[in-house]
Each structure stands twice: as C-alpha cells, then as structure tokens.
Amino acid sequence: MGSNFTDFGDLVLLIGDFHIPQRASEMPSCFQELLYPTDKIRHVLCTGNVGSKAVLEQLKALGNLHIVKGDMDTGFDFPETKVVHIGDFKVGLIHGHQVIPWGDREALSYWQRKLDCDVLVSGHTHKDSVAEVQGKFFINPGSATGAFQSFCNEVVPSFMLMAVQGPNIVLYVYQEKEGKASVVMSELTMKRDT
C-alpha cells in the first residue's frame, strides 16, 4: 500500500496448518482467488505446518511474515513462539501442539500469561475459533487447506483477517463452504487501562 493513513489500520492475515503436499494439494481455489494477488496485507501471522518451501515463499510475498514452528515443520528454522505488536495489541503466536490438552482453554491461558500478550493466536486443532476469556482474546484461524487431522471428523478450510486500529479489531473469518468463501465478522475491543 502506497500510503500510511489510519483509516483502516493494519490488515493482518492469520493463517496456518497447510500441510502441503503431505495432507492437502492446495488451498481451496476460492481462497486463492482472494489472496493472490493482493497488496493490502501488512502482516502475515502463520501458525506453522506449512509443509513445503513453496508455501513459505507464497506467504512471504503477501506481507511481513511472522511464523512459528509446527510439529511437522522439520527442516525449517522457525521459532517456537513469537510476540508481535500491532496497533495497541500485543499478539502472541504459537502453533499449538505444545498446548496440552490441545486447544484447552486453561492450557492456552497458561501460554497467554507466559507470552504476556493480549491476543493469543494458535492453530493445530484445524478448527477455527475466537473467544474472550478474562479480557484476553484467543484466536485460532483453523487450517487453510482443511487438511486431515486425526482427532477431527470434518475439517472446514479457513483463515482469518484482522483490521487492527488502535484498541479495536474487526475480525473476518473466511470459511470454504461448497466451493465458495463465506465470511463472518466480529469486533474485538481491548480493555482500557485506567
């Protein structure tokens, strides 16, 4: 983007668990149409398990890439966790296989406190979700390819986009349904320090 006006804040892509080519051949075409080419995204937060270098290169082309290591990312040199400042938020990033039991709220809260962040972004479960617990936000963008996950019966491909503006986030959740991208949105507002 050629300008740095504040109107739409920073656009942040949350995406991960591709498993290309091990468990999936590619992203749904409706997702590809939305993401390539676009120059609007500032940051890409990837929860890991890209599967191949090609996917990594594609992510780098989208924006500033922040990526953490998934359990299948052998051979890649990614950190276990990462914390990024976006808007007024401190966003923590972790793949999620370290969170035991997987996807458990209590266990996620432990990592949120450990990373001292306002928003914890994690993946691994292949099921998108967003929740607020005691003033902190827990976001899981799911799997961009809808790749198979042993403990999940039916995986819906998904990714997310956040428009971050000061203490506000407008969160867009993209899911593939019958070959089309369906989008739902919600708003997150940060606790104000008094």
Partner 1 sequence: MAFSGRAGGQQAFPASHSLARLQAFVESLQAGRNAVSSAAAEKLEVAVSLLTMPGTLSLEQVRSVCFYGLPDVTPLRKIYWMILLGVLSPHTERWPDELRSTRDKYEGYINDCIDPNIMQKAQVGGPRDANAASAHSIREGRASLSESRPASDHPLNRDRQGAWHRLFEGSELFGTIVKDVSRTRTDLAFFRSESWSLPDSQGSANGGSDAAADGHTAAGTSAAATSNGAASGPGPVSFVERLTRPSSHVDRMSRILFVYARLNPALGYIQGMNELLAVLYFVVHSDPLAHDEDPLLLEAEAFFLFVTLMVHQRDFFLALDGRSSATLDDTLEQYAGLLHQRDPQLAQHLDHMHIEPHLYMLRWLLLGFSQDMELPNVIRIWDTILADNPIAIPDIDTSLQTLPTAFYIAVAVLRVPELRSQLLSLHDREEVLRTIQHFPMHDIQQILSEATQIRSDDIVARRERHDRRQQYPRNLERRPTWEKAKRVGEKIIGTLFRG
Contacts with partner 1, residue ranges (CB under 8 A)? 1-8, 11, 33-35, 38, 40, 130-132, 135-137, 161, 163, 165-168, 170, 172-174, 182-192, 194
In this complex, which beta carbon is closest to partner 1, that of residue 52 or of residue 165? 165
- Closest to partner 1 by CB, 72 or 174: 174
Q: How far is the CB of 77 from partner 1 (least distance, A)?
A: 30
In eight-state DSSP terms, residue 113 is: H
Residue closer to partner 1, measured from CB, 62 or 68: 62
**Of 11 and 144, CB closest to partner 1:** 11
Instruction: For the CB of residue 166, give the shortest distance to partner 1 in the complex, in Å.
Output: 5
| Four-residue CA torsion sign, 141, 146, 148, 152 | positive
Q: Which is nearer to partner 1, 68 or 91 (CB)?
A: 91
Q: How far is the CB of 90 from partner 1 (least distance, A)?
A: 13
CB contact at 8 A, 138 and 147: no
175's tokens: 């899911």
Non-local CB neighbours of 98 within 8 Å, separated by 6+ positions: 80, 111
* 29 phi-psi bin (left φ>0, alpha ψ -120 to 50, beta other): alpha
- As a whole number of angstroms, the distance between CA 99 and CA 106 comes to 9
Nearer to partner 1, 54 or 185 (CB): 185
Q: What is the chain's alpha carbon radius of gyration, rounded to the nearest angstrom?
A: 16
Shortest distance (Å) from residue 97 CB to partner 1: 25
Burial 67-89 (b: 16+ CB within 10 A, else e): bbbbebbeebebeebbebebbeb
Least CB distance to partner 1 at residue 153 (A): 22
* Closest among 175, 91, 177 to 127, alpha carbons compared: 175
Smallest distance, partner 1 to C-beta of residue 152, A: 21
